[in-house]
Amino acid sequence: MAIKASAVLERLVEGVMSLVEIPINALERLMGRKRVPYLFLAPNLVLFGIFTFLPIAISVGYAVTGGTNLFVTDRPFVGLDNFRQLLSCQDYSRPGTCQESLFWTAIWNTFWFVGFNVVATLLVALVTALILNRAMVGRGFFRAMFFYPVLLSPVVIGLIWKWFLDRNGLLNAFFEMMGVPPHVFLLEVGWARFFVVLVSVWFHMGFYTLILLAGLQAIPKDLYEAAAIDAASRRRTLFAITLPLLGPNLLVVLILLMIRSVQIFDEAWVLTNGGGPGTANSFIVQYIYQMAFGSDLRLLGLASAASVLMGVVLLALTLVQLRLARKTEEI
Amino acid sequence: MGELKLSSLNKAFGAVHVLHDIDLSVKDGEFVVFVGPSGCGKSTLLRIIAGLEDVTSGRIEIGGRDVGQLSPAERKIAMVFQSYALYPHMSVRKNLAFGLENLKFKRSEIDARIAEAARMLAIEPYLDRKPRQLSGGQRQRVAIGRAIVREPDIFLFDEPLSNLDAALRVQTRAEITRLHQQIKTTMIYVTHDQVEAMTMADKIVILRAGRVEQVGSPLELFDYPRNLFVAGFLGSPRMNIVRASIAGIGPEGASIDLGHGAVLPCDVDPAAVRPGQRVLAGIRPAHFQRVEEGGVPFVVQYYESLGTETYVYGALAETQEPIIVHETGHFAPPSGTRLAIAPMPGRLHVFDPDSELAIARRDAGQRRGAVHGN
Ligand SMILES: Nc1ncnc2c1ncn2[C@@H]1O[C@H](COP(=O)(O)OP(=O)(O)OP(=O)(O)O)[C@@H](O)[C@H]1O
Ligand SMILES: [Mg+2]
């Protein structure tokens, strides 16, 4: 039965292939062999054009025009005014002295978030990967467990944790049971920031753990045997063998993590009820969102200018990553 | 120092029993080769000696002390891996220094040992390169160098030449032998190549399916194989094995019948056989000679001429048992030629077909050590 089915399938594929071959041969004769591949790329290129490159161009269009009109063509050209407004500041370290103080608050919040989040996620993912790399019982289960949150929607993540951390949430219920006075975690600046990082680490660590685990498993076992014969302690093996050989993977993780941390928005937005308390957890993407869609006054020009600035930073990070990835391929 | 003693060593991976009651002693400074077919447990045995694998039962002594509970580093051994296992991110110099640094050697001592090893192995020009910038042969030398600088009591090699091309293999084989003569340290060398075993070893340990089949010097094993397996394993082309029977036992000893009246004298211990007993006769191709009279009739099928030697393929005329005969120099017998051949004196091996063991010879005194060899 199965053999028959596969034979039929094979015949079918062969039939289709020979049908396809006729027009392709004709095309090759018509356009030349080298040009045919572009024909097949065309649908994809069109989609990318419409949904990626065109929006970039439109964003730049919005960024250099003012007013509140929706259509770019209806908007007055203002040159670099929007950028000037975003960047005019007496003291960049004190957002209050900036014309767009919210923008600079968001930048500094994002800056600190990226710092803590990158370090924490990297460490947690690395330690988890090192542990999972040992021959241990239930390794597959743990791997799946740590990866599972990656599959969830950010909004779901935000909601789950909010329920957990609320004034009447699970954590406080637990505290009350233990006789500890309850906290309103999400209304205290320190706690709220801490939990934004914690939730982000919990959410994403599985993904990075997987990358690092793949890297660890690619290190030949006999290097560890050679190190054992060479009297290397566990510490020395970790620092002199494992980490250097994991270097390329660590770099990839570091850059990916930075790019994605800069883009922090949805789960934090849901968790903190829009960046609260106050503006303590208001990040750059949130600023862009609020300027563009947050009120009836659609400040599309400012929002787009901020997007373009962020895009430039991300582009720089991506280029660094591509450069490093190419370099590590040579090792 | 570098004596090694294994007693009733057993190793099982889960339910798979891969080494059975291994007993072996190695004297200080000996070059011992473990040889056997793929999967027989050579690497496992070597890794157990290194401490990379624990034993299921049994005892390992190095230099008279029980090392069963010691880590690889504490056993004073050094190992050269089949894959070389060089640290890819470290320079050659760093690779050589790594073990010594871990053992807290003084910098000056480390540098001196590296310089000495580099000189010995002619790897001085590459000391600051990474392993990937070296050829296979150069990596091989670095791997050996990493073992040498440790000045271990025992060197362990796991098929170190298998990744080299034929010419380099022959050269490196000679170099390892020379190295052994120079530093006179115990070396244990795993290979499945019988030529390596024959040319390098002071003592060969033949393994099959996790059991030691025979231990002895290369020539002892070659001349006095204890059983059919050893007889067939060493020597190329393989020893001819034909069905035969004991023809009779006279005052001059026993004679053997290779079939239909082709009777030859043989030097089995007359007390160990009885007339008419079925046996297997083994004669190496090189141990046949052409005779004028009294030989066994042999019909040529074809031959391979290698210039200095010729292999003649054919069969015994009476029994059709296939036989290979080795001749030196040029010899071009047309197909169908009938030759009379006979084994050279003392070169006929007789085996029991059931136990596959060699039947004792009259000159048993000569081969003490060949049988047990411990
Ligand atoms: N880690 C392991 N787990 C289970 N079985 C193993 C393990 N290592 C080796 N074996 C088994 O033990 C037997 C001996 O293996 P070993 O590697 O010692 O053979 P070998 O003589 O070195 O062969 P080769 O010449 O192919 O290298 C094999 O049957 C192998 O399948
Ligand atoms: Mg092996």
pLDDT at position A68: 80
Interface test with A, best of B75, B101, B114 (most A CBs within 10 A): B101
Model's pTM, two decimal places? 0.82
Query: What was the pLDDT predicted at A331?
Result: 54
A64's tokens: 């250099």
What is the best residue among B10, B11, B13, B189 to mutate for testing ligand 1's pocket, by most ligand atoms within 8 Å of CB? Answer: B13
Helix and strand element counts for chain A (H, E): 15, 0
For ligand 1, the distance from its centroid to the CA atom of residue B114, given in whole angstroms, is 34
The correct answer on CATH 1.10.10.10 for the domain covering B237-363 is: no
Backbone angles phi, psi at B335, to 5 degrees: -55, 135
- pLDDT confidence tier of residue B214, bands split at 50, 70 and 90: very high
How close is the Cα of A240 to the center of ligand 2, in Å? Answer: 28
Q: Which atom of ligand 1 is nearest to the CA of B207?
A: 21
Q: How far is CA A168 from the centre of its chain?
A: 31
- Pull the structure tokens for residue B305: 């001429």
pLDDT digits (tens, 9 = 90+) for A121-169: 999 999 999 999 987 788 888 888 889 898 989 999 999 998 898 888 8
Output the CA B194–ligand 1 centroid distance in Å: 19
Four-CA torsion B241, B245, B249, B252, nearest 10 degrees: -30
Please say if the pLDDT value at position B365 is more than 80: no
Q: Which residues contact A280 (CB under 8 A, 6 or more apart)?
A: A109, A189, A192, A193, A272
pLDDT at B372 over 70: no
pLDDT at residue A297 greater than cutoff 70: yes
My answer on whether omega of the bond before A220 falls inside 30° of 0, hence cis, is no
Contact B81 A233 (CB under 8 A): no
- Note whether B50 contacts A: Cβ–Cβ < 8 A: yes
Which residue, judged by its Cα, is nearest atom 18 of ligand 1?
B41
- Closest residue by CA, ligand 1 atom 7: B13
The answer to whether the CB atoms of A331 and B88 lie below 8 A apart is yes
Measured CA to CA, the distance from residue B110 to residue B74 in angstroms comes to: 19
Q: Above 80 in pLDDT, residue B262?
A: no
pLDDT of residue A3: 65
Whether A225 has its CB under 8 Å from any CB of chain B: the answer is yes
Same-fold call for B4-231 versus B237-363: no
Binding pocket residue ranges, ligand 1, CB within 6 Å: B 13, 16, 18, 36, 38-44, 192
Split at pLDDT 50, 70, 90, the class of B232 is very high
| Cβ distance of A228 and B87 shorter than 8 Å | no
**b (16+ CB within 10 A) / e for A282-311:** bbbbbbbbbbbeeeeebbbbbbbbbbbbbe
Q: Quick check: bond before B160 cis, omega within 30?
A: no
* pLDDT at position A27: 83
Q: What is the pLDDT of residues A309-328, one digit of tens each?
A: 999 999 998 888 788 777 76
Residue minimizing CA distance to atom 9 of ligand 1 = B44
3-state secondary structure string, B329-374?
A: CCCCCCCCCEEEEEECCCCCEEECCCCCEECCECCHHHHCCCCCCC
- CB–CB of B251/B213 below 8 Å? no
For residue B316, how far is its CA from the centre of ligand 1 (angstroms)? 40
Q: Taking 80 as the threshold, does the pLDDT of residue B260 lie above it?
A: no
Q: Among A142-156, A246-260, B260-274, B293-307, which stretch is predicted with the lowest mean pLDDT? A: B260-274
Assign 3-state DSSP to chain B and report helix, strand, coil percentages, each to 5: 30, 35, 40
pLDDT at B374: 39
**Percent of chain A residues topping a pLDDT of 70:** 98
Q: Where are the domains of chain B?
A: 4-231, 237-363
What distances in angstroms separate CA A29 from CA A26, A318, B358, one per listed residue? 5, 40, 76
pLDDT number for residue B371? 42
More confident position, B189 or A96: B189
Residues present in chain B in total: 374
Sign of the four-CA dihedral B322, B328, B334, B338: negative
- Calculate how close chain B gets to A216, using CA atoms only, in Å: 15
Q: What is the pLDDT of residues B117-163, one digit of tens each?
A: 999 888 999 999 999 999 988 999 999 999 999 999 999 999 998 88
pLDDT score for A329: 60
Distance between CA B220 and CA A310 in Å, rounded? 80
Question: Which residues fall inside 5 Å of ion ligand 2, going by CB?
Answer: B 43
Query: DSSP class of residue B74?
Result: G
Tell me how far apart the terminal alpha carbons of chain A are, to the nearest angstrom. Answer: 49
Residues A331 and B89: their CA atoms lie apart, in Å, by 8
The confidence score (pLDDT) of residue A309 equals: 92
Is the pLDDT higher at B251 or at B231? B231
Report percent pLDDT > 70 for chain B: 96
Domains and CATH numbers, chain A: 66-86+285-331 (no CATH), 107-282 (1.10.3720.10)
In the reported structure, the alpha carbon of residue B83 is separated from the centroid of ligand 1 by a whole-number distance in angstroms of 16
Kindly report which listed range (A199-208, B211-220, B315-324) carries the lowest average pLDDT score. Answer: B315-324
Distance A219 CA to ligand 2 centre (A): 20
What pLDDT is recorded for position A330?
A: 57
Q: Answer for the pair A62, A70: CB distance below 8 angstroms, yes or no.
A: no
The pLDDT value recorded for residue B369 is 43
Percent of chain B with pLDDT over 90: 70
**What is the predicted ipTM?**
0.85
d(CA A140, CA A134): 12
The H or E element spanning position B150 is: none
**pLDDT tens digit sequence for B11-61:** 999 999 999 999 999 999 999 999 999 999 999 999 999 999 999 999 999
Cβ-based neighbours of B26, under 8 Å, separated by 6 or more = B2, B3, B4, B5, B32, B186, B188, B203
List, as one string, the DSSP characters of A59-117: HHHHHTB-SS-SSGGGSPB-TTHHHHHHH-BS-TT-GGGBTTHHHHHHHHHHHHHHHHH
Q: Is the pLDDT of residue A39 over 70?
A: yes
Alpha carbon separation from A209 to A28, A127, A148, A154, A241 (Å, rounded) = 47, 9, 12, 19, 19
The DSSP H or E segment spanning B296 is: strand B296-305
Could you give the CA distance from residue B218 to residue B199 in angstroms, rounded to a whole number?
8
Q: What is the 3-state secondary structure (H, E, C) of A238-271?
A: HHHHHHHHHHHHHHHHHHHHHHHHHCCCHHHHHH
Task: Suggest the residue from A224, A230, A236, A241 to mutate for an interface test with chain B (most B CBs closer than 10 A).
Answer: A230
Give residues with Cβ within 8 angstroms of A53, minimum separation 6.
none
Class of domain B4-231 (CATH, top level): alpha beta
Q: How far is residue B116's CA from residue B113's CA, in Å, rounded to a whole number?
A: 5
Q: Is the pLDDT at A195 greater than 60, yes or no?
A: yes
Task: Assess contact for A227 and A237: CB atoms under 8 A.
Answer: yes
Q: Nearest residue on chain A to B148, judged by CA atoms?
A: A230
Determine contact: A230 vs chain B, CB below 8 A: yes
Give the pLDDT of residue B364. 56
Inter-residue contact A79 to A72 (CB < 8 Å): no
Per the prediction, chain A carries an average pLDDT of: 88
Q: Is the pLDDT assigned to residue B366 strictly greater than 70?
A: no
Q: Which of B10, B17, B40 to mutate to test the pocket of ligand 1 (most atoms within 8 A of CB)?
A: B40
Shortest distance between the Cα of B209 and any Cα of chain A, in A, equals: 24
Residues 241-260 of A with CB under 8 A from B: 241, 244-245, 247
Residue B269 confidence (pLDDT): 87
